[in-house]
Chains A and B, each alone.
Chain A
Amino acid sequence: MAMKIGTDHFKERVEHGINDSFMRGAVAGAQNSMGVRRQTATEELGNWEEWRSHGEEIRQHVLANLDYYLEQLSENVAKRGGHVFFAQTAEQANDYIKGVVTKKNAKKVVKAKSMVTEEISLNKTLEEAGCSVVETDLGEYILQVDDHDPPSHIVVPALHKNKEQIRDVFTKKLGYQKTEKPEELAWHAREMLRQEYLTADIGITGCNFAVAETGSFSLVTNEGNADLVTSLPKTQITVMGMERLVPTFEEMEVLVSLLTRSAVGQKLTSYITVLTGPREEHDVDGPEEFHLVIVDNGRSKILGGEFQSVLQCIRCAACINVCPVYRHVGGHSYGSIYSGPIGAVLSPLLGGYDEYKELPYASTLCGACTDVCPVKIPLHQLLHKHRQVIVEQEGKAPISEKLVMKAYGLGAASPMLYKLGTKIAPAAMNPFTVGDRISKGPGPLKAWTEIREFPAPNKERFRDWFKNREKGGKES
């Protein structure tokens, strides 16, 4: 599966994450500062909840009429002289793009940041076909230079690295000789990349929002790299997830505002680039040839089902930036290029439960993700829905857990049994009890007491106290 990163099992990945103090420092610092910035940027609007509802309506409307808007989009792209390809699978998308590369005899591709091309492993496909691929987003560039380290965050892909680590990567791989100052590092990357833009045969981008009415698509960046990727090479290929579109510019404006405020706490990013088809006669720059690749890769299976709302996602990562689990384990622990709450919902849908069955449980269902989502995806409810599917349809829950839950069902069905169970609890736990606590619990309590004390059951349950009190008057 192309979106999969690493080969370790979930537990090993988590352990690795927890032990990576550099990464954890970077993630916690980023969460703290992004949290404040997001808060300020959303409060500035004054009526954030109305904006969210509006965003949700737009996304729901698009999903409910996706066939219509996709057709409109492709017709309008074709009208402007662009080529449109619908890829049902990652392989089909890669084959098509490889076909364009071969036809153009391209030796070098420059790329703007795109999660969907990560999802389909496009870089690998093109490199195997003998075409070099250069990532131009600074974060992606750092990762590519560092032997294709996978992204750990959908907006800030190199979040897990601090500036000293980036300096070391540049020194080792690029012969960089300056300090870890971000300005110096960025300047070096700029110099290296400038040549790449000028010599590239093809530019490849992702797509934040395609506009169906005009056949345009927008790119939201802070570095301006997407402008160079789309204006210098003669051929341009844009790859988009099939749900990433809006009816008109009016809706795009709303979603861009929700996106930049939620993602980076900015009113607007430095660049919001909107492009429509190949260069026309009066244009001074732009590609001579334009291809739009629309990727399904499992999305149409989500459509119309109980997880449809996940397709509302505009990839802002606000949910990741507030997630207390992500905070401590980092993005690579999820084993998918989609991490955090959105990754825990999306990865099992796109990559299957066999690969990602642990992810829906990597959440306390605290709801912080749902609270910040600018398009109101009920993320914690979808995580819960996954658990239900795993237990009831997939039958993938552990047997020990099933037994505990079966017993729970019995106890809950019979208040008598419950009362008896809680009555004998102090005696049953007596062998493990010292004073008023249990420090080494049996069975399911073991994992609890490895970390914390567990209270010994009260000898006089609350219900006994209440009953005795009723009998003996109100004195206690």
Chain B
Amino acid sequence: MKVTLFATCLVDLFQSSAGKATVELLERLGCEVDFPESQVCCGQPAFNSGYVKEAKVAMKSMIDTFLNAEYVVSPSGSCITMFHEYPHVFQGDPVWEPKAKKLAEKSYELTQFIVDVLKIEDVGARFEGKVTYHTSCHMTRLLGVKKAPMILLSNVKGLEFTELPGKEQCCGFGGTFAVKMAQISEQMVDEKVQHVEETGAEYLIGADAACLMNIGGRIERLGKPIKVLHIAEVLNSR
């Protein structure tokens, strides 16, 4: 199966390990992965701040980039949620709305793609350690992907899973919120870190680079002995 990867700007620039793991994992599961060089950002930073005009520039560029892709897969629930939002953004636009719809229909978050399209629930991974998992807001609430990561993690050999208290609560990232409302964001991420600590897990796993950058950045600042990993890295471990 041919899969076109949307790496996302955060993975491209800051968490290339998650991108590499995604490629290797998909290939191991029998996919042929390509990466169009013209991809940039899904438009979310501008869109969520209210700069829809600027965001549309990025969105159009993304729509064209993935025009001929069969499946678009991304290691970020939030950015795929943004793709699914495109048809609303271009509502009424005779050229871009149909194109946006096509992109939305073929775009999947990584774990969603593995479980729902590839129909694979056990990727044959082995990962030794006690882990907990943060369910990112956009991925679970807006995209509606709740079960896929849980199913995949439950089949990883050696992995000891412990549920995160208040897992559905936002980590305090929220794009520009993290800097615009820094005081509030700090309280939110602190409560998240506290919950992670309570589980006694050695690893915090997530499926969204942005949330992980936020929680991980706070964990590092506080000097907590918890490692942060993208779910692709865990599923790619053998």
Q: How far is the CA of A183 from the CA of B161 in the complex (A)?
A: 43
Chain A residues numbered 220-277 whose CB sits less than 8 Å from any CB in chain B: none
What chain B residues lie within 8 Å of A174 (beta carbons)?
none
Number of A-B contacts (CB under 8 A): 192
Chain B residues numbered 36-92 whose CB sits less than 8 Å from any CB in chain A: 37-41, 43, 45-55, 57-58, 61, 65
**Binary CB contact string for chain A from 342 to 382 against chain B (1 if under 8 A, 0 otherwise):** 00000000000000000001111111101100000000000
**Binary CB contact string for chain A from 435 to 476 against chain B (1 if under 8 A, 0 otherwise):** 001010000110110111111011011110111000000101
**Closest chain A residue, CB of each to CB of B39:** A415
A422 near B13 with CB under 8 A, answer yes
The yes or no answer to A304 lying at the interface (CB within 8 A) is: no
The yes or no answer to A399 lying at the interface (CB within 8 A) is: no
What chain B residues lie within 8 Å of A8 (beta carbons)?
none
B20 near A476 with CB under 8 A, answer yes
Interface size on B, residues (CB 8 A): 68
B179 near A444 with CB under 8 A, answer yes
Q: Which of B13, B24, B170 interacts with A457 by CB under 8 Å?
A: B13
Which range holds the interface residue count of chain A?
Answer: 35 or more
What chain A residues lie within 8 Å of B187 (beta carbons)?
18, 328-329
Q: In this complex, which of B16, B37, B213, B218 has the most chain A Cβ atoms within 10 angstroms of its Cβ?
A: B16
Q: How far is the CA of A93 from the CA of B216 in the complex (A)?
A: 53
**Closest chain B residue, CB of each to CB of A386:** B50
Q: A363-B177, A444-B179, A454-B217 are in contact. Are A391 and B13 (CB under 8 A)?
A: no
In whole Å, how far is A335's beta carbon from the nearest beta carbon of chain B?
A: 14
Q: Which of B47, B170, B179, B217 interacts with A368 by CB under 8 Å?
A: B170
In whole Å, how far is B143's beta carbon from the nearest beta carbon of chain A?
A: 10
Q: A447-B179, A448-B182, A462-B11 are in contact. Are A366 and B174 (CB under 8 A)?
A: yes
In whole Å, how far is A22's beta carbon from the nearest beta carbon of chain B?
A: 15
Main SS at interface, chain B: helix
Q: How far is the CA of A356 from the CA of B160 in the complex (A)?
A: 47
Q: A328-B187, A392-B52, A412-B40 are in contact. Are A455 and B46 (CB under 8 A)?
A: no
**Closest chain A residue, CB of each to CB of B58:** A412
Q: A15-B183, A451-B189, A453-B220 are in contact. Are A412 and B13 (CB under 8 A)?
A: no
In whole Å, how far is A385's beta carbon from the nearest beta carbon of chain B?
A: 9
Q: Which of B12, B142, B182 interacts with A450 by CB under 8 Å?
A: B182
What chain A residues lie within 8 Å of B141 (beta carbons)?
366-368, 370-371
What chain A residues lie within 8 Å of B39 (beta carbons)?
415
B220 near A437 with CB under 8 A, answer yes
B188 near A367 with CB under 8 A, answer no
A465 near B19 with CB under 8 A, answer yes
What chain B residues lie within 8 Å of A64 (beta carbons)?
none
B184 near A451 with CB under 8 A, answer no
**Closest chain A residue, CB of each to CB of B51:** A405
**Closest chain A residue, CB of each to CB of B52:** A388
A-B contact pairs, 25 of them (CB 8 A): A14-B181, A18-B184, A329-B187, A363-B174, A364-B137, A364-B170, A364-B174, A365-B175, A366-B137, A367-B137, A367-B141, A367-B142, A390-B50, A391-B50, A408-B54, A409-B57, A412-B57, A413-B58, A447-B180, A452-B217, A457-B14, A460-B16, A462-B12, A465-B19, A476-B20
* Interface set of B (CB-CB < 8 Å, partner A): 7, 9, 11-16, 19-20, 23-24, 27, 35, 37-41, 43, 45-55, 57-58, 61, 65, 137-138, 141-142, 168-170, 172-189, 191, 213-214, 216-218, 220-221
Given contacts A408-B41, A458-B13, 16 further A-B contacts (CB under 8 A): A18-B184, A325-B188, A363-B177, A371-B141, A384-B47, A391-B49, A392-B50, A409-B51, A411-B40, A412-B57, A425-B13, A451-B182, A451-B218, A457-B13, A458-B16, A466-B23
